Amino acid sequence: MVRFIPYIRINSDPFHSILAEPLEQNNTEPGKFTEKSDPERLYFIDALRAWAILMMLQGHFVSALLMESYREDGGATYFVWAYLRGVTAPVFFTVSGFIFTYLLFKHYEKGWANPRIKKGFKRGGLLILIGYVLQIKFGLLLKGSINTSFDIVHVLQCLGLSMILIIVLYLTTHKFSKYVFQIFLGSITILLFLSNGTLGQWEYSFLPDWFSNYITRENGSVFTMVPWFGFATAGGCISGFFQSNLTKKGFYPKAFLIILSIGILLIFQSYESIRDLVSLTEIRFFHSALDDSYLFARLGVVLVVFALFIFLRNILNHKIINDIGQNTLAIYILHAIVLYGSITGYGLSRYYHHSLSLSHVVLGAVLFLIVICSVVLMADRKVKRLFS
């Protein structure tokens, strides 16, 4: 039995990714898997991030503004839209973990001297800070109060802490082979996915809210470290495979087949595998994990998408796509301000919450994508000219 329905059952609003940094790859001729020797950016990663941020923009816009009646009567169309929307956040966490860990692997043996350590701590801290700032309503702050939802954890805080934890894991294993670190990351993914249900049943009232919000959804947090950190460590595990084999001849066709095969296996066999563990061991832990098999299926879908972008990497290597993929943080911040009224308290959702018809929301989503991306890309180009 393949569990597709549970795949979209949690609220998994898509979001943002870390700012892009150069990754190396071997260039390929259009439409071929053959490689040349010129190192350049892993453009398919930028394309993946661009796709995910565009999915996030339209997903948030439609979810915030579409009339309730269309959700109830949407049928198969709405189900497909909701399913695809649910893929976005896992893709971003996986890709962000991939990028950051890939850069750590480049100087793996250096330990504390690895240049990514200092940058990673700064970037992780910055993401956490921005996440909290976007939740401040400055109108209330000027009146001497703060909104009650200020300390809940959204995607930026979860991503920032994930980066910091990956650094900590790296520092504990860098004296060993990089394969140890890679296996460690993969094992953490499995453990977090399996323990999601068990940890969700624990009581965290003894912890301060700001801290427990990283663990439990009881107070309204959307992205808790369990299970979302598991997607980041999965991306880190995949990055080790790329870093070790990227220069080998015929890498891309092999990577495509391996990642696609693992993805399909996770989609179709996750539930059955955990069910078999339950039957063999009768361990209560696996009973709780059975309901969370959808997390492995979700990761499987991410890997299938990952493989698809590897296959299409030459077609998707376009400047606008790359620019969007490299500016996801700015796009996320601007969309949060315009749509949700982050910081200001005045956003589109305040005036049009669940009030637009299907035709209006489709047209509005297209315009929203164009305007947000255009403003960010134009600003980015002006900043680059200014500092060049």
Residue 305, amino acid: V
Residues in the chain: 388
Q: What is the mean pLDDT of residues 356-385?
A: 95
Q: What is the mean pLDDT of residues 16-35?
A: 43
Residue 143 has pLDDT above 80, yes or no: no
User: What's residue 22's pLDDT?
Assistant: 44
DSSP single-letter state for residue 27? E
pLDDT confidence tier of residue 201, bands split at 50, 70 and 90:
confident
Greater model confidence, 84 or 33: 84
Contact by Cβ (8 Å): 44, 316: yes
**Distant-in-sequence, close-in-space partners of 220: CB < 8 Å, separation ≥ 6:** 149, 152, 213
DSSP single-letter state for residue 38? E
pLDDT digit string, tens, across residues 253-300: 999 999 999 999 999 999 999 999 888 887 888 888 888 899 999 999
Contact by Cβ (8 Å): 192, 162: no
User: What's residue 41's pLDDT?
Assistant: 61
pTM of the model: 0.88
Indicate the average pLDDT of the chain.
87
Angstrom distance (rounded) from CA 381 to CA 291: 47
Q: What is the mean pLDDT of residues 324-352?
A: 94
Residue 11, amino acid: N
Greater model confidence, 225 or 19: 225
Low-confidence winner among 3-12, 77-86, 228-237, 300-309 (lowest mean pLDDT): 3-12
Omega of the bond leading into 253 within 30 degrees of 0 (cis): no
- Residue 347's nearest CA partner among 333, 362, 358 is 333
Low-confidence winner among 68-72, 106-110, 162-166, 293-297 (lowest mean pLDDT): 68-72
User: What's residue 142's pLDDT?
Assistant: 74
Phi/psi for 269 (5° steps) reads -125, 0
Residue 16 has pLDDT above 60, yes or no: no
- Residue 169's nearest CA partner among 156, 155, 188, 153 is 188
Contact by Cβ (8 Å): 45, 357: no
Q: If you compute the radius of gyration of the chain from its CA atoms, what whole number of angstroms results?
A: 21
Angstrom distance (rounded) from CA 86 to CA 294: 12
Angstrom distance (rounded) from CA 333 to CA 348: 15
Map residue 25 onto helix, strand or coil. Answer: strand
Angstrom distance (rounded) from CA 224 to CA 229: 8
pLDDT confidence tier of residue 23, bands split at 50, 70 and 90:
low
pLDDT confidence tier of residue 80, bands split at 50, 70 and 90:
confident
Q: Is 95 exposed, middle or buried (0-12, 13-18, 19+ CB in 10 A)?
A: buried
The percentage of residues in the chain with a pLDDT greater than 90, rounded to a whole number, is 70
Structure-block tokens of residue 60: 């948030």
Residue 110 has pLDDT above 70, yes or no: yes
User: What's residue 75's pLDDT?
Assistant: 75
Beta bridge partners of 40: 25
pLDDT digit string, tens, across residues 208-255: 999 999 999 999 998 999 999 999 999 999 999 999 998 899 999 999
Angstrom distance (rounded) from CA 184 to CA 181: 5
Angstrom distance (rounded) from CA 365 to CA 339: 11
SS3 of 310-360: HHCCCCCCCHHHHHHHCCHHHHHHHHHHHHHCCECCCCHHHHHCCCECHHH
pLDDT confidence tier of residue 52, bands split at 50, 70 and 90:
very high
User: What's residue 53's pLDDT?
Assistant: 94
Residue 32 has pLDDT above 50, yes or no: no
User: What's residue 257's pLDDT?
Assistant: 97
